[in-house]
Amino acid sequence: MHRAARAEDWLHDVRERYARNRGYRPIIIPYAGYGTTERVRILCRVLLAKPVDPESQAKQPRRRTDGRDSGIRGWRSFTSVPVNDVTVTIEIGGGTHRVQADRGGVVDTVVEARLAPGWHVARLHTDDSAPVEAPLFIVAPAVRLGIISDVDDTVMVTTLPRPLLAAWNTFVLDEHARVPTPGMAVFLDRLVAAHEGAPVIYLSTGAWNVAPTLTRFLSRNMYPAGALLLTDWGPTHDRWFRSGRDHKRANLRRLAQEFPDIRWILIGDDGQHDEAIYSEFQRDFPASVAAVAIRRLSPSEAVLAGGRSRDAAQARPGAPWVYGPDGSSLADQLAEHDLF
């Protein structure tokens, strides 16, 4: 294991012992998952949190248990203590499964469950935590089209230099001040309406810590509900930091393998590496791409993003590539290709 990972594990152990001595208890932060009618992908994270006084809790509005209100917000989501290697019990479809969280407290696992298409919930708990519900979207076997979208500068306008983006969004900016990309919510909603039962996946290089905030942002701005596929920041077993590009590539390949009959509309922007990543995916899985829609950043947004992507991207036969400054423009162009 990389020495940075060993140091991180040591720090987590120290902080966990200290937090437990102060009476902190495990809580589960559930994330939206997805699956087929035979198996589902469950996503959540286990953290230590300060117990809530029952009397003060009774005076507060009831908290949601679907991951949109975890009780840990903003910078606290990054300073909260993850629980290493804890066992999480999953109850779904009449079955019970026990799985281990990873060294960062994250559970990303697939379990067998026979469920009808549509939205369901999985009940999650540890031996000493309260149960919570994780929403799951089950894709019908007949569905042939899905939607994968980037987040920053695609569904959410950031207008910040990339090196400051994560810090600002996490530690400074109030979630109600985040700005949706013009027309993008309507664009995605129209796609979902035109293709009944289409799964929606929000694939981002952001950390799992901000998942509840992103979920609330998407819901408040009328984006269609879908699974978030984020990553866990920090060192891995063999490197100092995780690769956001590798995270996106790996999840795209996984989705192509999990849903071999689905063709995906890939949505991103030209300020990061989306064009190159989508081009590589289309090269390797040509039958899995229905179209690529790239939002062009404005000149000021491109400057703050560090310029437009310089990676080699190549549109390939079989799926159209469209470019536009907003959701309306992208929708009009996809309509010309009979995708609405």
Same domain for 78 and 181, yes or no, is no
Strongest mean pLDDT among 22-26, 49-53, 56-60, 135-139: 135-139
Which stretch of 83-92, 192-201, 279-288 has the lowest confidence by average pLDDT? 83-92
pLDDT at position 170 over 60: no
- Residue 127 domain-assigned? yes
Strand order in the sheet with 289-295: 227-231, 200-207, 145-149, 263-269, 289-295, 321-324
How would residue 64 be classed by pLDDT, with cut points 50, 70 and 90?
very low
Using CB atoms within 10 Å of the CB of residue 156, give its burial: 0 to 12 exposed, 13 to 18 middle, 19+ buried.
buried
- Residue 340 domain-assigned? no
Same domain for 98 and 181, yes or no, is no
Same domain for 286 and 252, yes or no, is yes
Same domain for 108 and 61, yes or no, is yes
Q: Which of 123, 138, 153 is the last residue of a domain?
A: 138
Work out the number of other CB atoms within 10 angstroms of the CB of residue 288: 22
Same domain for 210 and 255, yes or no, is yes
Query: What is the residue whose two structure tokens read 């019990």?
Result: 89
Same domain for 171 and 302, yes or no, is yes
pLDDT at position 263 over 80: yes
**Mean pLDDT over all residues of the chain?**
82
pLDDT at position 165 over 50: yes
Planar angle of CA 48, 167, 216, nearest 5 degrees: 65
Same domain for 169 and 287, yes or no, is yes
Same domain for 165 and 268, yes or no, is yes
Q: Which of 138, 163, 185 is the last residue of a domain?
A: 138
Q: How far apart are CA 325 and CA 332, in angstroms?
A: 12
The pTM score is 0.84
Same domain for 87 and 173, yes or no, is no
Higher pLDDT, 59 or 107: 107
Q: What's the total number of domains in the chain?
A: 2
Per-residue pLDDT tens over the stretch 264-284: 999 999 887 899 999 999 999
Q: What is the mean pLDDT of residues 283-294?
A: 96
Contact 288, 281 (CB under 8 A): yes
Q: Which of 84, 118, 138 is the last residue of a domain?
A: 138
DSSP string, 245-276: HHHHHHHHHHHHHH-TT-EEEEEEETTSSHHH
Same domain for 127 and 236, yes or no, is no
Same domain for 87 and 170, yes or no, is no
Inter-helix orientation angle 274-284/244-258, to 10°: 30
Q: What is the mean pLDDT of residues 313-338?
A: 88
- Residue 114 domain-assigned? yes
Which stretch of 6-20, 69-83, 92-106 has the lowest confidence by average pLDDT? 69-83
How would residue 311 be classed by pLDDT, with cut points 50, 70 and 90?
low
Inter-helix orientation angle 327-335/184-194, to 10°: 30
Contact 269, 203 (CB under 8 A): no
Domain that holds residue 76: 3-138
How would residue 206 be classed by pLDDT, with cut points 50, 70 and 90?
confident
Planar angle of CA 113, 116, 119, nearest 5 degrees: 95
Same domain for 68 and 204, yes or no, is no
